[in-house]
């Protein structure tokens, strides 16, 4: 018999539902928050270990993911122009950028045109950290490559 267990967060308005088929470990979970449901499907231990090892190596070596500098340049250019490519984003980032685009543009306009990007390292969650030098200032920027 399938088993469902619900947990409720005390700090934020969120609920997590775990689904199990009764024959083994939990098969997935669903985060219910802000009127949306996000499902996370369990991956097998070998895949999880492979991903964890790759992330640990990336952090240890402090190497950027291939293509993040190019992607960051494209993102900044599109944001300044007010034409982000929502097709390249997932649902959550798309919603956030649509909502905040006027604010993002107002923050990016005063520094002027981007001049250079310098890779600074890899953060603890695996995001590549860059220092972006604009015409009139410098801004740290993180980009996560899937």
Q: What does DSSP say about strands 36-41 and 28-33: parallel, antiparallel, or unpaired?
A: antiparallel
When pLDDT is cut at 50, 70 and 90, the band that residue 3 belongs to is low
When pLDDT is cut at 50, 70 and 90, the band that residue 2 belongs to is low
Of residues 53, 56, 37, the one with CA closest to residue 45: 53
State both tokens at 135: 């015409």
Region 20-43: mean pLDDT is 86
When pLDDT is cut at 50, 70 and 90, the band that residue 90 belongs to is confident
The H-assigned helical ranges of the chain are 45-61, 68-81, 91-108
Q: What is the distance in angstroms between the CA of the first residue and the CA of the last residue of the chain? A: 35
- What is the rounded average pLDDT for all residues in the chain? 88
Secondary structure of residue 87 in the 3-state scheme? helix
pLDDT of residue 142 exceeding 70:
yes
CA distance 67 to 145: 8
pLDDT of residue 7 exceeding 80:
no
CA distance 128 to 142: 6
Of residues 67, 39, 42, 65, the one with CA closest to residue 54: 65
Residues 6+ apart with CB under 8 A from 11: none
For the question of whether the overall pTM of this predicted structure is more than 0.85, the answer is no
pLDDT of residue 83 exceeding 70:
yes
**Cα 99 off chain centre by:** 17
Region 110-128: mean pLDDT is 91
Cβ(129)–Cβ(145) below 8 Å: no
pLDDT of residue 24 exceeding 70:
yes
When pLDDT is cut at 50, 70 and 90, the band that residue 89 belongs to is confident
When pLDDT is cut at 50, 70 and 90, the band that residue 108 belongs to is confident
pLDDT at 11: 80
């Amino acid at each position: 018999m399938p088993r469902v267990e619900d947990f409720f967060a005390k700090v934020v308005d969120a609920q997590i539902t775990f689904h199990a088929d009764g024959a083994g470990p939990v098969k997935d979970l669903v985060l219910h928050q802000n009127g949306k449901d996000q499902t996370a499907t369990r991956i097998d231990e070998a895949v999880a270990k492979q991903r964890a090892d790759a992330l640990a190596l990336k952090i240890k070596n402090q190497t950027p993911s291939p293509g993040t500098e190019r992607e960051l340049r494209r993102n900044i250019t599109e944001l300044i122009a007010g034409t982000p490519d929502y097709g390249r984003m997932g649902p959550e980032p798309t919603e956030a950028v649509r909502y905040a685009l006027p604010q993002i543009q107002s923050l990016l306009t005063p520094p002027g045109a981007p001049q250079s990007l310098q890779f600074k390292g890899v953060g603890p969650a695996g995001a590549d950290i860059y220092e972006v030098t604009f015409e009139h200032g410098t801004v740290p920027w993180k980009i996560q490559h899937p």
